[in-house]
Structure 1
């Protein structure tokens, strides 16, 4: 067969080109080569993919879809639990409630860093209200005097903490955890978090990220620069080690903030329907965080024992002597009962728990069905007259007087002062148009006939009382020129509700509650600046990265 020379030439050329592309592809996909540009980024400041580590005390909760608000018993018929389909992203949650021991660590740190004689009111603002145990017709002075501090109650959930204090604890915990992480990784001087700390150089995560050179009082002996271990080639061809760098978000060592879980997150984690999953469906609906419709254990070794700590009847908080079937009369030590299918303890009973949400009777799934949360207050860093970020100091820190007269610090020295976002951030945006979004589509002005589309937030604040749906009492506490407290109790007969923007949701039954409230979907509300002997809290942390750690399996 006669072969055309041109055909042979084309064949050889195509082979050469193919091999060349294969070689180029292999080279570009080699270690350190960018898939975007093909450049060798080994010597560049680029962070390889890194999995998020769980913070201290946290367990992983894989996100998914669930029916929020679905209860099996609704004897109140108050339209408070209308079922909605929601989806939450994966997150982390405290394995147990925050305990007295954990909270005392917070109190000790505040007392160390902010001495009482210099920072009057700071410590008083964070200490729990131990008088919540008192009862007009009950002798509870033992708990009043001992529950918070006695070692016998160290692993019991902290109570007497209002919602504001719980939020502040989470902020403090974020800074202490990241401070320890940075010290471990060589970005902070070892031991500085305890040996060299005071109010002038207290560590704050956001302040460090924005300006690491000025963090911890700007001390170069405490805030260290760590070499990245990479070589830098100079113009003359010589090489030297790269200059030191501070930790950044791209370093992968700084953890997201601890915070209160949203109501959707808490309910999803408590229900733990994953334990009844088969393929991509749930086989049935749980009534409690555990499987089955009963509160007593059916296991041979613990048959008849209660699976949570709650009030079982009038005057019955823990059974009879010799057969204390839930093991407690008031709260109980954490991990006293079996965990749910996510590995979380006491998601029913022991203490009810604060969540982040502002209370409204209805969850508006038509507006949003992804990571639902009501309570967004968007802020930004405050810029001072010198054009720099304003860091909170002893001289400019703010205090708030709560409705019950308690004085509490709005922020701590070392933090970045915050102000509401303005038109620079909201102009022509479709996803949000103001900083305060608590009242969005809640039956208030924006969803009423009084709403003016072009109104500003200041106009909303001046809204006529008659036009407001949530027309709650407006108690006020001030101080006169002599420092005496002046209480102004709202005695108006025109008030129509107790709900306002400072009422927060709490979830889960407590040692004071009947089994009805153990259902994860049940919800109640309480003023954010008040505390009780039956509400505690636990923290959560958002997950960054992939939704799941494990491969898909047919069953839970």
Structure 2
């Protein structure tokens, strides 16, 4: 009984001390107030500064969360091509989101349909986005049916889109960002779908945030602290970050899916492919013996013997075929190669940063007229100007020159990557490096590749304006805030 009395007295004193503390603090203990000024957030009586301190990002349509971390990027076995362009190095990749599957023909046809509907008078705009179906042509093969059927026929709707250049893939990512953000505003009741938008009056995320797009207003506008309608701001956290092509480091990290091979901070088993082990077949009890990807098994063997097709695909396969890796991503090996964002350089691993490595940074700003107003083109998109170009940083300057017979110190300000690497357009067999600021990396292996190219650490390159019948892409999105969530 005496103990209970002492406990009660102690508790009373503690509560009293707390109340005294609050009183002495001047009343600045409200949860929804500024730690800097003590002013309460979202209160119209003190100006109405609005904020959402409980924001949490969600995955956009088609995306999987990829928790970031450190890994060894680069070669994991003998460099059979002797390119010496991918030495192993330890890097860290921030958390991000990535498409569960490759972009399919159905996905891309939706994009083409939208362009035709919104820009009916611009045939050039449509043709710029149209995949090159002629990539299926081969002089000594009967591939003509794929020219007519692969992109359009519903039988191939879930197959990965091919014949798409890096430039076209980038444009698709931009379009997808705008359509997802437009739908988010429709879902919120801020806008309603406007099927009459055309020409300059087209929703883009940038023009909406800049106040240049009005559209059809919904019945639930965003309100300020006083209850009055206002414009959406980036600070509201309603609109999503851009869909984009993944960097080479992001793509390789996501392909390995090492999250399933860790014990605490220890990596228990490094991978050769996106699955465990060095074999190409499934070793599980249920699916033992089935191939894990779509690739060329041997010379002239694209799918196996009739009655038991080894990978059940003659060319590509549906984008959700085979088993996903430990991040839940399908076809990160085989099926089609995939574009990534990076410019190709053979020695990128010696130059790029340890955190978020990437070569291809170009800084831009929106173009303005003489009055400081933003300028749109005929398609409603904001025009941009390049501020700085680091694609050839420490690689195409006079300090890095490797061409003999030129005095770079005399003309260094006018030199570019093309001046550093040997270029030749002649037909006389002159050596050419093929390296320019428009050469992009692609990875993953395809339905017409040997197993070596399915190793995520391998890399190849192609001009960003070119396309192929075994080359597609998938999108990524930046994760904002903490890598996992606190």
**What CA distance in whole angstroms lies between the structure 2 residues aligned with 1:20 and 1:365?**
60
Question: 1:359 touches 1:505 (CA, 8 Å); kept in 2?
Answer: yes
TM-superposed CA distance for 1:276, in Å, is 0.6
Computed over aligned residues only, the root mean square deviation of the Cα atoms, in angstroms, reads 2.4
**What CA distance in whole angstroms lies between the structure 2 residues aligned with 1:72 and 1:494?**
32
- 2:221 aligned with 1:226: yes
Task: Tell me which residue corresponds to 1:360.
Answer: 345
Of residues 174, 180, 185 in structure 1, which corresponds to 2:183?
180
Of residues 238, 244, 259 in structure 2, which corresponds to 1:253?
238
Of residues 295, 314, 339 in structure 1, which corresponds to 2:324?
339
Task: Tell me which residue corresponds to 1:139.
Answer: 142
TM-superposed CA distance for 1:293, in Å, is 1.0
Pair 1:444–1:69, CA change in 2 (3 A)? farther
**What CA distance in whole angstroms lies between the structure 2 residues aligned with 1:312 and 1:144?**
25
Task: Tell me which residue corresponds to 1:71.
Answer: 76
Q: Write the deviation string for residues 498-541 of structure 1: whole angstroms up to 9, x where unpaired.
A: 11111110001100001111100000011111110000000000
Task: Tell me which residue corresponds to 2:198.
Answer: 198
TM-superposed CA distance for 1:209, in Å, is 1.2
TM-superposed CA distance for 1:26, in Å, is 9.2
**What CA distance in whole angstroms lies between the structure 1 residues aligned with 2:484 and 2:41?**
29
**What CA distance in whole angstroms lies between the structure 2 residues aligned with 1:245 and 1:341?**
43
Unaligned stretches of 5+ in structure 2? 1-14
Task: Tell me which residue corresponds to 1:299.
Answer: 284
**What CA distance in whole angstroms lies between the structure 2 residues aligned with 1:439 and 1:455?**
14
TM-score by length of 2: 0.90
Pair 1:155–1:26, CA change in 2 (3 A)? farther
Question: 1:100 touches 1:154 (CA, 8 Å); kept in 2?
Answer: yes
Pair 1:544–1:321, CA change in 2 (3 A)? same
Task: Tell me which residue corresponds to 2:50.
Answer: 46
Task: Tell me which residue corresponds to 1:23.
Answer: 23
For residue 28 of structure 1, give the secondary structure of its aligned residue in structure 2. coil
Question: 2:163 touches 2:471 (CA, 8 Å); kept in 1?
Answer: yes
**What CA distance in whole angstroms lies between the structure 2 residues aligned with 1:228 and 1:26?**
31
TM-superposed CA distance for 1:301, in Å, is 2.5
Question: 1:29 touches 1:35 (CA, 8 Å); kept in 2?
Answer: no
Task: Tell me which residue corresponds to 1:415.
Answer: 381
Task: Tell me which residue corresponds to 1:159.
Answer: 162
Aligned length: 463
Question: 2:93 touches 2:355 (CA, 8 Å); kept in 1?
Answer: yes
Pair 1:132–1:496, CA change in 2 (3 A)? closer
Pair 1:173–1:492, CA change in 2 (3 A)? farther
For residue 340 of structure 1, give the secondary structure of its aligned residue in structure 2. coil
The within-5 A match list for 1:55-66 is 55-66=60-71
The within-5 A match list for 1:72-471 is 72-115=77-120, 118-188=121-191, 190-192=192-194, 195-210=195-210, 212=211, 214-215=212-213, 218=214, 221-222=216-217, 226-228=221-223, 230-231=225-226, 242-393=227-378, 413-421=379-387, 435-442=388-395, 444-448=397-401, 459-461=414-416, 468-471=419-422
Pair 1:260–1:519, CA change in 2 (3 A)? same
Q: Write the deviation string for residues 376-404 of structure 1: whole angstroms up to 9, x where unpaired.
A: 111111111333111112xxxxxxxxxxx
Larger CA deviation: 128-137 vs 179-188: 179-188
Pair 1:385–1:344, CA change in 2 (3 A)? same
**What CA distance in whole angstroms lies between the structure 2 residues aligned with 1:184 and 1:120?**
32
- 2:36 aligned with 1:36: yes
- 2:438 aligned with 1:472: no
Question: 1:73 touches 1:516 (CA, 8 Å); kept in 2?
Answer: no
Q: Write the deviation string for residues 306-356 of structure 1: whole angstroms up to 9, x where unpaired.
A: 000000001101110111121111000111111001111100010010000
**What CA distance in whole angstroms lies between the structure 2 residues aligned with 1:82 and 1:145?**
42
Q: Write the deviation string for residues 466-518 of structure 1: whole angstroms up to 9, x where unpaired.
A: xx3312246xxxxxxxxxxxxxxx54765531111111100011000011111
Larger CA deviation: 168-177 vs 27-36: 27-36
Pair 1:493–1:139, CA change in 2 (3 A)? closer
Pair 1:75–1:33, CA change in 2 (3 A)? same
TM-superposed CA distance for 1:223, in Å, is 7.9
Question: 2:445 touches 2:451 (CA, 8 Å); kept in 1?
Answer: yes
Task: Tell me which residue corresponds to 2:3.
Answer: none
The within-5 A match list for 1:520-539 is 520-539=456-475
**What CA distance in whole angstroms lies between the structure 2 residues aligned with 1:391 and 1:95?**
34
Pair 1:337–1:26, CA change in 2 (3 A)? farther
**What CA distance in whole angstroms lies between the structure 2 residues aligned with 1:26 and 1:350?**
66
Pair 1:446–1:171, CA change in 2 (3 A)? farther
**What CA distance in whole angstroms lies between the structure 2 residues aligned with 1:443 and 1:364?**
16
**What CA distance in whole angstroms lies between the structure 1 residues aligned with 2:322 and 2:173?**
25
**What CA distance in whole angstroms lies between the structure 1 residues aligned with 2:318 and 2:59?**
23
**What CA distance in whole angstroms lies between the structure 1 residues aligned with 2:127 and 2:253?**
35
Pair 1:227–1:547, CA change in 2 (3 A)? closer
Of residues 504, 507, 522 in structure 1, which corresponds to 2:443?
507
TM-superposed CA distance for 1:363, in Å, is 2.2
Question: 2:438 touches 2:464 (CA, 8 Å); kept in 1?
Answer: yes
